[in-house]
A and B are shown apart, each in its own frame.
Chain A
Amino acid sequence: MVQIVVRGSVDGSSAPEWLLVELQGEVVSRHNSGLAGNVMGDLLYTKEGVPLLIVGHHILYGKQVKLEKHFAVLTKRYDRLQDGNGVDDDVTQAPMETEQSDSTSKSYYVSAIIRRKLIFKTRPKPIITNVPKKV
């Protein structure tokens, strides 16, 4: 049987709070080049506090919700084990190649706690553009 420890944090500090943004459907990169580094959209709030999301050619209206059950974002961590000395400096990337994998131990730590979310459930309204505005 395997035991994997889930720690509150790497260094004993308390986990930060992040926000969850929930969208219906999928977000796909326009050029199929992967998502990393790409803009997703603009998030704004009306004066009344209603969140709006402009994604591509759509506006989505949403609302802020306090979560009944909180979420924790758990990040996997691989610690290199030294002979009998316990845990080495942390290695947060994927484990080394196979010859080292016997001497790594897997654990998780809480990267963040999520207590609230913005949920965008309404059908997106398309933005009609006749003439692109020159900047």
Chain B
Amino acid sequence: VNPPSELNMRTLEEVQATLQIAKLKEEDLQKTVHCLSFGENVSSADYCLVELDDTLCKHIEAGQSLVIRGDKDEHAVLCSGDQTYDLKIADTSNLLLFVPGCKTPDQLTNSQDSCQVVHTPIWGFCNSYWELRKRRPKLKKLTKLLMENPYEGPAVGGQYTMPDLLERIQASEEEIKIHLETIHACQIDGYWRVLDFDYEMKLLGHVTQLVDSESWSFNKVSLQTSLEELAPLEPKEMIEHCLNCYGKRYTENDKVFYALHEDKVCRGIALMLLQNAVKFNLREFQEVWQQSVPEGMSTRLDQLKSVALVDRMSRPETICLLRVEDLSEDTLERFNHLFTLREKWTEEDITPYIQDLCGEKQTTGALLTKYARSSTQNGIKVFNSRRPLAT
């Protein structure tokens, strides 16, 4: 092939000579020839290629930003407003060239009479790219940070604002907000706070006692009266926060009411009772529990899925506190821990404790297949560890 002329730009004659040598007939070809050459900045610029799904493309096109959040000890993640992705490098054995000015046949006008040479610089190249894979956000650290300084009263201030949290948690802002709501956190003076558990129970206790003493239906708790009656005891914002956590707000005749959520209230009270000892006699617990909840509410063991574990094998039957939030975020560690606590689990008992580990489109059944071994005991399917564990 002929040496390139000055400035490394090929002329039409050179191109036509090449075609002739290559035995390609001009009449078989479209009239535009792109002469590809490497641009000046090809080796110097800092760039990379990232695979984007439809959602992220639309995000970018709409002018929204993405944020890469990198922890020194862990792999970096990429976050949109509401989703977290793992960043994984994919090596290909191929060379990928990025060519800005290159047209495809459907874009060529072909209106010119003769062959036309278009000098087309290659802007960059690489042989690997970043793959994005959706993942569960890492939120355990969020709870841990807020538990450094739980709210027990206005005396001590908070440490973390939302920007502070975004700098420390590998999750999207929306995922963080959802988790804050789940753990009953509230914003005080711009700082996010989680409530000390006993303090939260104290607030709930004030509310339920007021419902009792006013003989209200627990579906119609007056905000105004609650604030008036309980203000001497606790800050108004905290009373309202408690109502927001344990009830559903609505308006009737311009007045604000809350319908207390039976399951949430019963669960909260159960947690309060279960904290006092390692294990309880199941029957005794159930009696005390039912007596402790507001008039008209019914306690049910299924309200305690993922927060308490019932042992039906022991005599007498027992119940103890076991909260999924207190367990490891890592799948293997979680399974090891669960199997250390109890050698064999039924699917019904273990599912609440592995539900949160499921990735996109993954089922608890798939997790059990992967991380546990099943067998049949007394006609019931049970799961145990794949490896021997010290119990």
Residues on A lying within 8 angstroms of B by beta carbon are 1-9, 12, 14-16, 18-27, 34-47, 49, 51-52, 54, 56-57, 59, 64, 69-76, 94, 108, 110-114, 116, 118, 127, 129, 132-133, 135
Contact across chains for A40 and B1 when beta carbons are under 8 A apart = no
Are A75 and B45 in contact (CB-based, < 8 A)? yes
Q: Is the interface of A mostly helix, strand, loop or mixed?
A: strand
* Inter-subunit contact A8/B64 (CB<8 Å): yes
13 contacts between A and B (CB under 8 A): A7-B65, A18-B98, A18-B102, A20-B96, A34-B43, A36-B38, A42-B18, A44-B29, A45-B105, A47-B28, A108-B68, A118-B102, A127-B21
Told that A4-B68, A20-B97 touch, could you supply 12 new A-B pairs with CB distance under 8 A?
Answer: A8-B63, A12-B63, A19-B99, A19-B103, A22-B94, A35-B38, A41-B35, A43-B33, A54-B22, A71-B129, A110-B60, A135-B14
Of residues 51 through 78 on chain B, the ones whose CB sits less than 8 Å from some CB of chain A are 51-53, 57, 60-72, 78
Chain A residues contacting B65 (CB-CB under 8 Å) are: 5-8
Partner of B95, one of A19, A26, A45, A64: A26
Whether A46 and B30, one on each chain, are in contact in the complex, defined by CB atoms closer than 8 angstroms, is: yes
B279 close to chain A: CB less than 8 A = no
Q: Which 6 residue pairs across A and B have the least CB separation, nearest first?
A: A76-B46, A49-B105, A43-B34, A6-B66, A35-B38, A4-B68
CB pair B34 A42 closer than 8 Å: yes
**A46 and B28 in contact (CB under 8 A), knowing A1-B70, A64-B104, A71-B129?**
yes
Contact (Cβ within 8 A) A39 B2: no
- The CA of A108 and the CA of B76, in the complex, are separated in Å by 15
CB of A75 to closest CB in B, whole Å: 5
| Interface residue B276 (Cβ < 8 Å from any Cβ of A) | no
